[in-house]
Chain A
Amino acid sequence: MHHANHYYGHSHVLARYAGFDGAGPPRIRGYLQHGWNIGDGLAPDHEYVPGIPSFVWSETTRRRAWSMGHRGVYVTGAPWAYLVAAAPDLDQPREGTIWYPFHGWEGQHVHGDHDRLIAEIRATEPGPVTVCLYWQEYRSVRLRRRYERAGFRVICHGYRGGRWRDLDPGFLDRQLAEQRRHARVASNRLCSALLYGILAGCEPAVYGDPMQLRDEKDLFGGRSRIRRQWPELHGASVDNRVARQIAVAELGADRLMPAAEMRELFRWS
């Protein structure tokens, strides 16, 4: 129903899980959370329509959304968690770090010192580094070159899609395959990709200049709250067991829904 339901191929992943093969996924009756955040789970510019349900990733997000007056909020878990559960890790050899520099989303621009960040990454990471840029940054040849000159492999998982166009059903599959090649996942901010990496079996790390979006507003307490609430995930080396517990909770991997229930809930039956 909402175009953001198709970002990163989320609706395709869930449709596959629910037993729908073929072209496009059926229309989900509701809004699907498409990124980790510390608010009600949905994008700040999201337009609410009364009576339309929201499908969020975690129980904490459901509680938050309820406290903000939203009703009809259901915990489904993140599409990533379904993908990870469905595609078992074959224990292939892992090497190096996949590093996600904080990025802006469509139309946003990040301010920060990439050279200083590169120096921190080189000083911290023990093995080879793959830097994964968001498609906006990846298009900047100059920025790409800066990371490549540092000896990093530079990749992009692809375009997430927008308003039902250029949809990419294989986005998350590529991301999972890439993450499973790496032993570590790191970023300068706690974000979806980092939590994904933890669930995919990487050791996490959050360090370096967190950078800033132009005119960034710290919604719901912003970066300082994230550091306060999840201090265990911040630093160059963190406790893997604790990190996994947090990732499981935040991505709702402990609350995955049976396919039959999902079909009913999404009005796919």
Chain B
Amino acid sequence: MVVTPLLLGGEMPHWSDPEPAGGAVLRALAAGAHGDTLVVGPHSPELIAAITARHVTVLLRGVPDGEALPGRPGLEVCCGSLEKLAAVPAYDTVVALDGLERTGSTESPGPSWADGLAQLLAVLRPGGRLLLGLANPVGVHDLLAGAADPGDAQWSGPPGDDPTRPVGAAALRDRLRSVGLDPLREYAVFPSPRHPTVLLGTAALADPALTGFLSSALRRTAPPPGPLLADPRPVAARLLRHGLAGAMAPGWVVVATKTGDSPLPPARPSNAASSVASSVAGLPETLIADGPVLRRLSPAPGRGWVHEDLAEDLLPVPRELPAGECLHDLLMVAGRGHDLPALRSLVTGWRDGPAAGVPADAVLVAPDGRYQPLAAPGEPAEALRRFADAVRDEGLPAEIAEIFGVMTGRRIRPGGAALRELTAERDRLARELGEAITQNIWYERQAASRDAELARAYRIIALLKGTVPGRAATAVRGGLRTGTSFARAALRRIRQP
């Protein structure tokens, strides 16, 4: 079904937004949209397809993006800038998971973040729900990204320069409240604001009992593309441990409802009823995409946390979330502390136990010492290789890296992808080169010293040869040589047939 976008004004005929918001976790969140739904900004076709509401309107700035969307009954595609959208409360749900930065076009300077939010609020019915994304301009992904030229989308200043944009998750929450929205859920998203695979709720972030599990989840996110100053994944795990993962997350997602009763008759009573029931119940506390599995975490009174694994062919069954520390973190702690017995014990327990072949970042070590795999085992060599790479990239002392290699039979390969690792590698090579030069000088001195001793020995020998005993000894040695050769010749003659 071919889509002919409705052009609102301010649309960009030549423009296509790269990397629309999408992925399994955002898709799952958007799937809860109900009633008349507006999707603002670039979102993946899969995410839009997951919205089962009968009437869905998509607003995009790039005309080619609108034309490329697969059509379906009830889907309307508009192209233009956000300010051109009629400001009437016509929607029960507004999905803006891509954020507000890509809702303006080249045709006007705005809208500012605050104007964009006001526009979304204006089109949302009282009691309606807003799903809003906000990228963090000082998130761990951004701070560790390498220098890059501004792309074609950066015709204006970076989003972080907008003074109307809330700074941080708390400011976002406050701003929403101040304009009449009631935040229901708030997530810190990793590893990227537009394509996260981990959505961490505030309760999960605040619970130290979950640190091991969440550290594993953060370590196992996909490596970011592009040049890097350092791999942000281990940094994210450290931020989590120090209570900063929420503040330094690549972005946040907030689900909020518009307060007040609808002054307008609802478009469809049945949907409006579900719209009013905008309780927290249907929203996950934390959502983690782990390969094909979507893992939903919920607090269970008296039982800590439970998780349901949502896969297309499985009926989700709540199960108790395993407790413990991430094995990868424990190995690093032991390594950094030069605690070889602990390192050896962890390696042995990992290699010889039920978690053999499972990557260290997918293993929890329970307080009672049990190893609990969070993923299916693979090749043990591959699991070791993955940790060996981390040993190199996370800057463990060279001796520990060497010892780890000795313990596991895996030599640590030099080299690294990110600038920090490359710099560390260059420093290591420079140090080793310096050591090699020093060693060479030492060897040369040794050789020169021995040369001198040898020359002295030769001179003594020559002097000794000139004395009477020396000459006698030379004659005896000459006689012995003559006798030996005479005897060899005689033997050859006798052996000839």
In the complex, the answer to whether B10 meets A66 with C-beta atoms within 8 Å is no
Q: Is the interface of A mostly helix, strand, loop or mixed?
A: helix
0 or 1 for each of B97-131: is its CB under 8 Å from A? (1 = yes): 00000000011110000000000000000000000
In the complex, the answer to whether A220 meets B13 with C-beta atoms within 8 Å is yes
In the complex, the answer to whether A67 meets B156 with C-beta atoms within 8 Å is no
Q: A67: shortest Cβ distance to chain B, in Å? A: 5
In the complex, the answer to whether A66 meets B152 with C-beta atoms within 8 Å is yes
In the complex, the answer to whether A60 meets B152 with C-beta atoms within 8 Å is no
In the complex, the answer to whether A67 meets B153 with C-beta atoms within 8 Å is yes
**Interfacial residues of chain B within 374-414, with CB under 8 A of chain A in the complex:** none
In the complex, the answer to whether A229 meets B152 with C-beta atoms within 8 Å is no
Q: B143: shortest Cβ distance to chain A, in Å? A: 25
In the complex, the answer to whether B107 meets A229 with C-beta atoms within 8 Å is yes
Q: A230's closest neighbor in chain B, by CB?
A: B9
**Interfacial residues of chain A within 221-269, with CB under 8 A of chain B in the complex:** 221, 224-225, 228-229, 231
For B10, the chain A residues whose CB sits under 8 A away are: 229
0 or 1 for each of A196-229: is its CB under 8 Å from B? (1 = yes): 0000000000000000000000001100110011
With beta carbons under 8 angstroms apart, the residue of B9, B12, B108, B109 that contacts A67 is B12
Q: B63's closest neighbor in chain A, by CB?
A: A221
**Chain B CB within 10 Å — which of A68, A224, A229 has the most?**
A229
**Interfacial residues of chain A within 39-90, with CB under 8 A of chain B in the complex:** 59-60, 62-64, 66-69
In the complex, the answer to whether B107 meets A60 with C-beta atoms within 8 Å is yes
Q: A252: shortest Cβ distance to chain B, in Å? A: 14
**Interfacial residues of chain B within 1-36, with CB under 8 A of chain A in the complex:** 7-15
Cross-chain pair count, CB within 8 angstroms: 43
For B486, the chain A residues whose CB sits under 8 A away are: none
0 or 1 for each of B80-110: is its CB under 8 Å from A? (1 = yes): 0000000000000000000000000011110
Q: B79: shortest Cβ distance to chain A, in Å? A: 10
Q: A39's closest neighbor in chain B, by CB?
A: B14
For A220, the chain B residues whose CB sits under 8 A away are: 13-14
Give the docked Cα–Cα distance between A63 and B156 (Å).
Answer: 7
In the complex, the answer to whether A64 meets B106 with C-beta atoms within 8 Å is yes
In the complex, the answer to whether A66 meets B155 with C-beta atoms within 8 Å is yes
With beta carbons under 8 angstroms apart, the residue of A67, A225, A231 that contacts B106 is A67
With beta carbons under 8 angstroms apart, the residue of B8, B9, B11, B155 that contacts A63 is B155
Give the docked Cα–Cα distance between A177 and B377 (Å).
Answer: 84
In the complex, the answer to whether B14 meets A63 with C-beta atoms within 8 Å is no
Q: A228's closest neighbor in chain B, by CB?
A: B9
Q: A147: shortest Cβ distance to chain B, in Å? A: 34
Q: A110: shortest Cβ distance to chain B, in Å? A: 24
Q: A144: shortest Cβ distance to chain B, in Å? A: 37
Q: B109's closest neighbor in chain A, by CB?
A: A59
List 25 interface pairs A-B (beta carbons < 8 Å), by A numbering.
A59-B109, A60-B107, A60-B108, A62-B155, A63-B106, A63-B107, A63-B155, A63-B156, A64-B155, A66-B106, A66-B152, A66-B155, A67-B12, A67-B14, A67-B106, A67-B152, A68-B152, A220-B13, A220-B14, A221-B13, A224-B7, A225-B7, A225-B11, A228-B8, A229-B107
Interface residues of A (CB under 8 A from B): 59-60, 62-64, 66-69, 220-221, 224-225, 228-229, 231
Instruction: List 18 additional A-B contacts (Cβ < 8 Å) besides A60-B106, A67-B15.
Output: A60-B107, A60-B108, A63-B106, A63-B107, A64-B106, A64-B155, A66-B154, A67-B12, A67-B153, A67-B155, A68-B14, A68-B152, A221-B11, A221-B13, A225-B13, A228-B7, A228-B8, A229-B107
